[in-house]
Amino acid sequence: MRIGIDLGGTNIAGGLVTDDGCLVFKKSIPTRIDSEAVLLSDIVAHIKTIASEAKGEEISSVGIGVPGHADDEAGLVVCCNNVPLNMTDLVGYVKRETGYECHIGNDADAAALAEVRIGCAKDFNTAVMVTLGTGVGSGIIINNKIFTGCNGAAGELGHLCIDPEGLSCNCGRRGCFELYASATALIRQTREAMKHHPESLMWTLAGSLDDVSGRTAFDAMKKGDETGKKVVDKFIRYLSIGIIDVINFMQPEAIILGGGISKEGETLLAPLREITERECYSTYKKKTEFLIAELGNDAGIIGAAFFGD
Residues 125-144 close enough to bind its own copies by CB under 8 A: 126, 140, 142
Report whether 271 contacts 144 (CB < 8 A).
Answer: no
Q: For residue 137, give the 3-state DSSP assignment.
A: strand
Q: Is 71 in the site for its own copies (CB under 8 A)?
A: yes
Q: Pick one of 64, 77, 244, 302: the residue that binds its own copies (CB under 8 A).
A: 244
Looking at beta carbons only, is 49 or 86 nearer to its own copies? 86
Stretch that binds its own copies, among 1-9, 209-217, 249-257, 298-306 (CB under 8 A): 249-257
Q: Is 53 in the site for its own copies (CB under 8 A)?
A: no
Contacts 24+ apart (CB under 8 A), 68-76: 68/106, 69/106, 69/152, 69/153, 70/104, 70/105, 70/106, 70/152, 71/104, 71/151, 71/152, 72/103, 72/104, 72/105, 72/148, 72/152, 72/307, 72/308, 73/152, 75/102, 75/104
How far is residue 71's CA from residue 49's CA, in Å, rounded to a whole number? 26
Report whether 255 contacts 130 (CB < 8 A).
Answer: yes
How far is residue 133's CA from residue 118's CA, in Å, rounded to a whole number? 22
Looking at beta carbons only, is 76 or 301 nearer to its own copies? 76
Query: Least distance to its own copies from the beta carbon of 126, Å?
Result: 6
Taking residues 190 to 219 in sequence order and writing x for each that binds its own copies by CB under 8 A, - otherwise, the string is ------------------------------
Task: Say how many C-beta atoms besides its own lie within 10 A of residue 266's C-beta.
Answer: 11
Per DSSP, which regions of 114-223 are E strands?
127-132, 136-142, 145-146
Looking at beta carbons only, is 44 or 78 nearer to its own copies? 78
Looking at beta carbons only, is 23 or 85 nearer to its own copies? 85
Q: Is 89 in the site for its own copies (CB under 8 A)?
A: no
Looking at beta carbons only, is 38 or 87 nearer to its own copies? 87
Residue 106, phi then psi, degrees to nearest 5: -80, 145
Stretch that binds its own copies, among 6-14, 92-100, 273-281, 292-300 (CB under 8 A): 273-281
Interacting residue ranges for its own copies, rule: CB under 8 A: 69, 71, 74, 78-79, 126, 140, 142, 147-157, 159-165, 171-173, 237-238, 241, 244-246, 248-253, 278-282, 284-288
